[in-house]
Amino acid sequence: MAHENPFFETWATPFGMPPFDRIETRHYMPAFERAVEDHRAEIDAIRNDPAAPTFQNSVEAFERSGADLVRVSLVFRNLAGTESDEAIRAVERDLSPILARHRSSIYLDATLFARMDAVLDGPEGASLDPEQKRLTERLHKAFVRSGARLSETERARLSDITARLATLGTQFSQNVLQDESDYILLLKEEADLAGMSDDFRLAAATLAQARGHEGLHAVSLSRGNVESFLTQSTRADLRETLHAAFLARGERGSTTDNRDVIAETIALREERAKLLGYESYAHYKLDDTMAETPEAVRGLLDRVWAPARGAAARERDRLAEIASDEGNNSPIRQPDWRHYAEKLRRADYAIDDGELRPFFPLDRMIEAAFYVAGRLFGLTFKERKDLPLYGRQVRAFEVTGADGRHVAIFLGDYFARPSKRSGAWMSAFRVQQKLAGDIRPIIINVLNIAEPAPGEQALLSIDEARTLFHEFGHALHGMLSSVKYPSLAGTSVSSDFVELPSQLYEHWLMQPQVLRLYARHVETGEPIPEDLIKRLHAARGFNQGFGTVEYCASAFVDLEMHLSAPEARKDPLAFERKVLDRIGMPAEIAMRHRSPHFTHVFSGEGYASGYYSYLWSEVLDADAFSAFEETGDIFDPATAARLRDFVYAAGNLRDPKDAYLAFRGKLPGVEPLLETRGLS
């Protein structure tokens, strides 16, 4: 098998792209087994080195180790999220505890930790250059937070907890994906399509055909699909059916029910935090973030919650007036909000989704994102059709800098399909580094836009266009990275700083000079009317009470579950309700992510006790864009250079607060965020 496994050879493809056309599911397990074995040998060589610990023979040697494991892991994890099937999911289930125990065996190794400790606290520590120092400090902290200072018995228990949490995280995400991929709402008659736009009908017909229902229309549980239907459909009964299915993901009482998974996950996270000396898992997780403490997070959420809830109440009353004018005197329900909000937007600002979408075709929005990157950072994007790709929907672009040199490969996977988990994200098939040569990254954006009918163009809502810019901001964070050590590269920063590059990038979408160039009618090519641009800006704070409430509710529940684990694990959904009752959650608004499908928090630990991060980063991004506005030029070269040097290219070279201060010269308060959201 060795001679035919692509992971056992050097890839001779252009730019070192994974040879997707040759990689099969059967190749993964042998590749992981060999990579883990090789990594273990590299680690043993470091820990058993008879020479005194130095930066080169301990820290840098550690950083060089495991390259093959990283290579196969990045390919597998990306395809497990985009091209999943039962065979892939089986490998994922088997691998999760194996890889978790492998990592634990390294970071719980007392001898290995002693070498890192000796470098940091020894005489060499004072002579390290800033990047070496940062790497050593971050690596040392990773060992400590992984339990390297615990007793042997405690380390063994921690290893068991880590392995079990990895299994639970995989189970959680697979359950959600299964619920999403199993469900479609079939629209069998013309009456079922009442209110739906032509482009939605075409996409719904394409989806139904793909699912074996030729001649019908279908709606999936992709967020974009659901929100479009809830906005447009005049059928209150169908809105209720789809909304209920969307909220019930992971909570259907079947083999995919996630309630027990949540309970065990919360309990194990709490136990691990206590073993490591923390008051709760939330205290443990936030100790390594900009926020630092649960009190700081709760303070931010409380500061935003009161004005957001007040704004949402005013919005609800306006929606009720619209509904009453149509003869519906019932209270506004959760499935109704988006439908009547769109009518209110049309009434107040003469804007409706059907009018906007033709000006936001997918291809033009991709070009707009590229244009902004060119103006800010001197980047050029050229589509490459000669590169190996893993699916027909994926597009590849070579990225070059102002000097014409290669910067990165950017991949875009934009359309929803049953094999892809929902949501939108950025990831990497290869991260930037200079340790093993000038290694340039291969970065991917994944979205879940409804695929149009053959020959048609995908038309985006404003929210979908913002999501495209958001994820492209993440992509730039990965592509522009310029550091030596891969552990410090790109998006390897704290969770409440990583959203700054993405949320900041969203601002450029709505700038008039960008809209005039790229928001052009899909059929006529005419630019978006100036009057419509003005109306869009006038509506900037529209429905922000609703948006802030649905987001903050999820952030509150995430934080409180991990602060009060003994109570939360008894009945996670009862605890969820208790938190919502305490904060006064409006009955007309649902959490953006309910616990049974809250993959940010329970399919891994990236945003556990950290869903607040989007709001924290928004405090930064509202202020950061002001840095450009204050110059009178949204592409001001000097400001863009500082942004590149200290944010997009800098990875984790310095503490996030220091990075922001180097860019902006000051730390912001919450007021710009409240003003941006229309809540001040």
- Catalytically active residues are 471
The stretches of 326-436 forming alpha helices (DSSP H) are 337-349, 353-356, 362-377
* Residue 54: other Cβ atoms inside 10 A: 16
The distance from CA 305 to its chain's CA centroid, rounded to whole angstroms, is 23
Q: Is 382 exposed, middle or buried (0-12, 13-18, 19+ CB in 10 A)?
A: exposed
Q: Is 319 exposed, middle or buried (0-12, 13-18, 19+ CB in 10 A)?
A: buried
* Residue 669: other Cβ atoms inside 10 A: 11
Contact of 359 with 457, CB cutoff 8 Å:
no
Which residue, 7, 28, 174, 33, is CA-closest to 98? Answer: 33
The distance from CA 645 to its chain's CA centroid, rounded to whole angstroms, is 23
Element (H, E) at 296: helix 294-325
Which residue, 502, 411, 475, is CA-closest to 79? Answer: 411
Give the whole-angstrom CA distance, residue 398 versus residue 676. 35
**CB neighbour list of residue 360: distance below 8 Å, 6 or more residues apart:** 459, 460, 461, 462, 464, 465, 519
Q: What are the DSSP calls for 72-85, one per residue?
A: HHHHHHHHHHHS--
Measure Cα distances from 185 to 190, 197, 225, 243, 318 in Å: 14, 17, 11, 11, 30
Edge to edge, what strands does the sheet with 394-400 contain? 380-383, 394-400, 406-415, 442-449, 425-430
Give the whole-angstrom CA distance, residue 343 versus residue 233. 12
Give the whole-angstrom CA distance, residue 184 versus residue 207. 9
Contact of 58 with 119, CB cutoff 8 Å:
yes
Give the whole-angstrom CA distance, residue 20 versus residue 354. 38
Q: What would you report as the CA-atom Rg of the chain, rounded to the nearest whole angstrom? A: 25
Measure Cα distances from 569 to 347, 595, 612, 651 in Å: 46, 12, 21, 36
* Residue 175: other Cβ atoms inside 10 A: 25
449 conformational bin, left if phi > 0, alpha if psi -120 to 50, beta if neither:
beta
Contact of 609 with 289, CB cutoff 8 Å:
no
The stretches of 409-543 forming alpha helices (DSSP H) are 462-479, 499-509, 512-518, 530-538
Give the whole-angstrom CA distance, residue 667 versus residue 651. 19
- Amino acid present at 98: I
**CB neighbour list of residue 11: distance below 8 Å, 6 or more residues apart:** 17, 18, 19
* Residue 516: other Cβ atoms inside 10 A: 13
Give the whole-angstrom CA distance, residue 348 versus residue 577. 34
Contact of 441 with 504, CB cutoff 8 Å:
no
Helix axes 67-82, 28-47, angle to 10 degrees: 150
